[in-house]
Chains A and B, each alone.
Chain A
Amino acid sequence: MFGYKSLSIKQKQVVWAWGFLALPVVFYSVIRFYPTFGAVLLSFQEWNLLGGKTWNGIENYQKLFADPVFWKVFGNTFLYLILGTPISLLVSFIIAYNLDKVRFMHGTIRALYFLPFMTSTVAMAWLWRWFYQPVPIGLFNNMLAAISIPQFPFLKSTFWALPSIWAPAVWAGLGFQVIIFMAGIRAIPNTYYEAARIDGVGPWTILREITLPLLKPTIVFLVVFSSIGFLRIFDQVFNMTTNDPGGPLNATKPLVLMIYDTAFNAFDMGYAAAQTVVLFTVLLVVSLVQLRIMRDK
């Protein structure tokens, strides 16, 4: 205490500042960084959760890069992203742009778009899973059968299963993106539009020259946010394919599901940790690249 009293006011302020800062620093160190570091270490070890850990060097990584299932899964993960981010952003922007002009029942329509985002992913995934079933219980296929159109395989096809899982994921995330886009559009000062109209500029030019450039921070945020979301997709796939996780024939399996399967079905924790490190690296690189590309010049 004596030491503290002898400090100058400036030094005391520093002590207090660090005192308050210590809380998040400790929190992040213990809850985030320590386990992350532990996972990286674990990726060089072999562990089945029960016995001791043994070092096995880069064996887990060698096995991973030689595993054809990993590359299939890696491709799937990027397919979710490449289909997901641009399409969902485009659709949500079109909705937000037009919804912004609608006055009639504006709040209700906006709420309707937001509703799926608030629904539990698990409940939603199971509902869609049932929609996709063949006759006699699947909603879509029953409709097709009623008008004598052949059954559509949805989740039972190696080609269509991934888009079938992807579609509800996009639909569920749409509400959030619409709300963020609308907030972004509202934040653009009206004076720009007034000036443009006085100059007699057409709606296309307004969109291209005013709205989109000024929405850039919003777009950057949504691109990064939705990319991370699609790269980490798990709940939808897991719940829609519990009978054949990530199937058929690994057609829908994303990286996170492979990690889950390796860790909690095969109990190969070291191998799962190696997959996690790869996912972490991919997420980091993709986010950094996107931030760099979309940074203001």
Chain B
Amino acid sequence: MKILNKKFWKNSVTGLAAGAVFAMGTAAANAVEIEYWQYFFEARVNAVDILIENFEAANPDITVIQTTFPYADYRTKVAASIPAGQGPDVVQLFYGWLNDYVDADLIRPLPTDMFPPEQIEAEFFPMVQAMKRDGAYMALPTAVRALALFYNKRLFEEAGIEAPPETLDELVDIAAALTKRDGSGNITQVGITTGMNAQDHHWWREVLVRQFGGSPYTDDYKTVTYNDASGIAALQWYADLETTHGVTQSGVMDEPQAAFKAGRAGMHIDGSFRIGALNSTRGLEWGVAELPAGPDGMRSNYSSYWVNAVTSKAEGEKQEAALKFMAYLTSDEAMQIWLETVGELPAKPTAALTDANKADPVFGPFVEGLGYARTTIFANESGQRQVIMDALQRILLEDASAETALGEAAATEQALLDEYYN
């Protein structure tokens, strides 16, 4: 094509125009164009750009177009577009949304010859099995995320603390040493950030409740079981950070990660997706540690993931191209690129639990956490989050006991679950 164009260039301007039209015509004839959608998060967009470049180099006849939307709009855009036959051929969905899409026949099962279930089960983390329907997988992740404790190295040094906390008791002591107040007693630097709205509701549900001896739900996540002595103890412990120990203030500096980024928080619990943003914060020296162990040494973690799926819009050669792209997105190579660009961990233990990753000071604690992490199956994540947020607010603002607050939370959440599943 290039040679053809060059010849025309030498001839005349009209020749060039004709050549361009000709070139465009042939290119369109043998190229398949597919669309990939995800929400906008800079590191993720960059990662997909790299993946598309590699994929197109290996498959010159396929063009992948990436489209992104702000996170707040993403779910609605996807939900409105796919049923209308408008949206993407390959789409990124939160694992918790899968049911609705499967029920509405909006995504296609991955063919078992290209994606054999036995192989997936042998290679991927077990939580991915939630993506299986009738013997075939509906969707697969590139990466998974877990929680860990971020800590500010400078503040630790300043307070003479050598290592991040290993247990919940140590966490309280260290947080106390890191807390600063002004002359009127107002907190100006928190020992640990809190706020059930960010990642703490996951920490409470899957980690604290279990560490205090309970379990948040039945195994199918359709029944609330945290409303017992262990759940109450877990909520009380969390509320005590603010009410008794005074080492935190929920919502300090508006958002917990903002307080940590600004160096106004000694510790902060967050997901692996925060790594990219913290890396680009100048002057912040931070480290990562595993979530502290419970009273009897038990560790737990919460893991979540976004999956890729082929939509029912992709048909014929587009479907073929979409499946090829899916295969690449879930390859070891793609997972490594994702880890390096976004900081999210590979979805396969073979790729994630390598010695190099375990020894990595930043990825290490997350990788360890993945080994014992649980994945909550949400019916309505924001609704279920609100329930836990409200329980804490009742304690902080209305002086309710942890028992009353949790009782109300359990009843409300159970109603949400019943309505969704029945």
Contacts and interface: CB of A to CB of B under 8 A. Distances in A.
Interface of A: 48-52, 129-130, 133-137, 141, 145, 148, 150-151, 156-158, 243-245, 247-249, 261, 264-267
Nearest to B383: A266
B297 to A, nearest CB: 34
A51 B82 CA distance: 11
Contacts of A133: 253-254
A247 B389 CA distance: 10
Contacts of A248: 393, 397
A244 B283 CA distance: 30
Given A156-B251, A248-B397, A265 B197 contact: no
Nearest to A48: B100
Interface residues of B, number: 36
Interface stretch (B38-46, B178-186, B287-295): B178-186
B254 A267 contact: no
Contacts of A247: 389-390, 393
Interface stretch (B101-109, B129-137, B149-157): B101-109
Contact of A50 (B104, B188, B394): B104
Interface string B75-86: 110011011000
Interface of B: 75-76, 79-80, 82-83, 100-101, 103-104, 106, 182-184, 186-188, 195, 197, 249, 251-255, 264, 380, 382-383, 386, 389-390, 393-394, 397-398
B197 to A, nearest CB: 5
A-side interface mostly? loop
Given A244-B197, A249-B394, A264 B101 contact: no
Contact of A264 (B76, B103, B188, B251): B76
Contacts of B264: 136
A212 B314 CA distance: 67
A42 to B, nearest CB: 14
Contacts of B252: 134
A236 B67 CA distance: 30
A130 B249 CA distance: 16
Contacts of A50: 79, 82-83, 100-101, 103-104, 106
Given A136-B188, A136-B253, 6 more contacts: A50-B79, A50-B103, A51-B103, A136-B182, A137-B254, A266-B380
Contacts of B380: 265-267
A265 B398 CA distance: 27
24 contacts: A48-B100, A48-B104, A49-B80, A49-B83, A50-B100, A50-B101, A50-B104, A51-B103, A52-B104, A134-B186, A134-B252, A135-B182, A135-B186, A135-B188, A137-B253, A145-B184, A156-B251, A243-B195, A243-B251, A247-B390, A247-B393, A249-B394, A264-B75, A265-B383
A141 B197 CA distance: 23
A267 B79 contact: yes
A244 B363 CA distance: 31
Contacts of A137: 253-254
A268 B415 CA distance: 14
A244 B253 contact: no
